[in-house]
Chain A
Amino acid sequence: MSKTVMEHAEASEVFNRDEPYVNWHDETLWFVRQKRDKSSKQLPEWEQLREAASGIKHYVLSHLDELLISFEQKAKENGVQVHWAANAAEHNEIVLGLLKKHKIDKMVKSKSMLTEECHMNEFLQKNGIEVIDTDLGERIVQLRNEPPSHIVLPAIHLKKKDIGDLFHEHLGTDAGATDPQYLTEAARQHLRDKFLTRRAALTGVNFAVAETGSFVVSTNEGNADMGAHLADIHIACMGFEKIIPKQEHLGVFLRLLARSATGQPITTYSSHFKKPREGQEMHIVIVDNGRSTQLGRKDFRNSLKCIRCGACMNTCPVYRRSGGHSYHNAVAGPIGSILAPNLDMTKNADLPFASTLCGSCSNVCPVKIDIHDQLYKWRQVLVKEGHVHKSKEIGIRAMSTVLAAPRFYQWSGRLGRTVMRAMPFMVNNALNPWYKQRDMPEPPKESFRDWYIRNRKN
């Protein structure tokens, strides 16, 4: 993370240099969005399910303390050890401590966006622990020394040729091979060896049930289970918002999660962990890392309802055309853009502006988070607190001056139309950011106001 971080707009510009690639990226994600649509329309109760999920999560936010205490108590009764981490550093230390205690220096890990958020892999590696990501997409980006570009589809930004080259270099597959079946088989063999030899497995948590002290982990590949059931020690890490009140509520969430994410009616594996198997140790790390602060922000606390399905990314016209890495945050896309400023306003001030505010994200969100409203509200907070570039501020101030003075507005409109007609090069040039990747519209001869005055008499 020592690399200088490009702002979203700047990174998108780089991403957009290769037009066929951007079109491919755009279409691939849109295809996933369409699968979500098709799948959701199979359920007549879809909208009521979203409403129920949102309502349950609202209840969770307003009872978080009690639910977490109940979860902890039940989990302990089940023989699971529970740890609490106030921030990323404490989380990482807890995991390291557990591994050191067992003299383990190699671990397998299934998908956990929380550990990405905490930059755990880097920390553990610095402390002599090898971490192997076992989700195929995550293993791919790990071998490339990149973070995932999407929370559900970590390697969605890569073409099969990139992966073929990567596997040729690291896994010894044939040079030039690009067949997904062949490449996946190579990864299966490579990772099976890791599963069979690692004594510790770390997994994420999709849902933690307060009533039973159990937690659910969803995968399609089976990597979480392969890791956890073979390891001597299973560590499950969760942001505290993963809690749900009762086991029966899993019915609502598991019906929504995979349909929203990829259009599948359910993931291949929905694994319910309650007690460690005989001779095994099971640990749960409950992490805050800014979540309790976000809980106190009235306008933004709903972001904690998120179940990490990725639907808002797949539908977002900006995400599809700028790629996950341009968001420089563990969680990209619309939801990432409302979570990130809570973690660091200065570093992430650009993200709430990486949106057209079209509202598509809010429309597909399975827990009905008002994502685009929050993006809009973050902009205001960020400008007020001085986290926004002077250039943007000057532009906005100039616009408010013009819009506040009707006569000046009329005059400048007329001037603008004339200039655009007479001297198009004044706007069709590289200095005008609106001219990038698009043509300027033909200026109308008169304004609506002029037209109205002229026609009102008739």
Chain B
Amino acid sequence: MSSRDRILSQIRQNKPEEVALPSVTTFVSHFENTEDKFREMLSLIYTEVIVVKNLEELAVKAEELYAGVVNRATTIPALSAWADFSLNVSDPHELETVEIAIVQAEFGVAENGAVWISDQYLPHRVLPFITQNLAFVIPRNALVDNMHEAYVRLQDTLGWGCFIAGPSKTADIEQSLVIGAHGARSMVIFLLEGE
């Protein structure tokens, strides 16, 4: 018998009597204002939230924030003039030198400040991790209250997707918080107003 079949038969022999799934597994969060909560949570994890009226203002802000930075990459066509690093590479290792990536993402979660990003929005999965600094652009109205709502919205995860909440961090040395472990050293979230 294969290990697979042996494991499964032992499970069948030993598993407890059947029980049903609990009836309540989702909950509603009652925040006074979803966007305020989102901002509050992000400020706790060292992430700046900037509202921009349109793509032109986004381009202006991007220029302001990252003036003097070289190796800028973006997935947003309206920022192509701002970027100087092409994401049109075949090997993701080539992204090693990206300093800042401004990336379109799907939506944010107010209770924890996480933003959902997936294959749908990225030419390379490693981009939000390998870049030294990261900024997401999400529609201002694309915020949900909590993770239960997030998974209602997220019917399929496609090939790969990730909730990212703030810059990379660690506290493995005497519980001292250090920002910038292996992933991005800084994070900005642009909330883009409806066109």
Contact = CB atoms under 8 A, between A and B. Distances in A.
Interface of A: 28, 31-32, 45, 48-49, 51-52, 55-56, 58-59, 61-65, 68-69, 78, 84-86, 90, 134-137, 140, 153-156, 158-160, 163, 180-181, 183-185, 188, 191-192, 195-196, 212, 214, 220-223, 225-226, 229-230, 240, 245, 247-252, 254-255, 262, 264-277, 286, 288, 292-293, 295-296, 298, 301
Given A59-B19, A225-B126, A272-B161, 19 more contacts: A52-B25, A61-B16, A140-B172, A153-B172, A155-B172, A181-B176, A212-B157, A220-B171, A222-B181, A225-B162, A249-B25, A266-B109, A266-B113, A268-B169, A269-B164, A270-B163, A275-B158, A298-B16, A301-B14
**Which residue, B3, B20, B182, has most C-beta atoms of chain A within 10 A?**
B182
A56 B162 contact: no
A155 B164 contact: no
A277 B181 contact: no
A247 to B, nearest CB: 6
A86 B147 contact: no
Interface in B95-115: 96, 109, 111-114
7 contacts: A52-B22, A64-B11, A221-B170, A223-B182, A229-B129, A247-B157, A250-B151
Contact of B157 (A188, A262, A274): A274
B159 A274 contact: yes
Interface in B142-174: 146-148, 150-152, 154, 156-174
A428 B24 CA distance: 56
Given A48-B27, A86-B3, A180 B169 contact: no
Given A134-B182, A247-B157, A254-B147, A184 B173 contact: yes
A221 B176 contact: no
Contacts of A58: 16, 19
B15 A277 contact: no
Interface of B: 2-4, 6-8, 10-22, 24-27, 41, 45, 92-93, 96, 109, 111-114, 118-119, 124-126, 129-130, 146-148, 150-152, 154, 156-176, 178, 180-184
Contacts, number: 246
A64 B147 contact: no
A144 to B, nearest CB: 13
B72 to A, nearest CB: 20
Nearest to A45: B27
Contact of A196 (B19, B93, B151): B93
Given A221-B181, A248-B148, A214 B111 contact: no
Contacts of A153: 171-172, 175
Nearest to A289: B7
A251 B183 contact: no
A62 B18 contact: yes
Contacts of B3: 84-86, 90, 288
Contacts of B154: 247
Contacts of A32: 175
B41 to A, nearest CB: 6
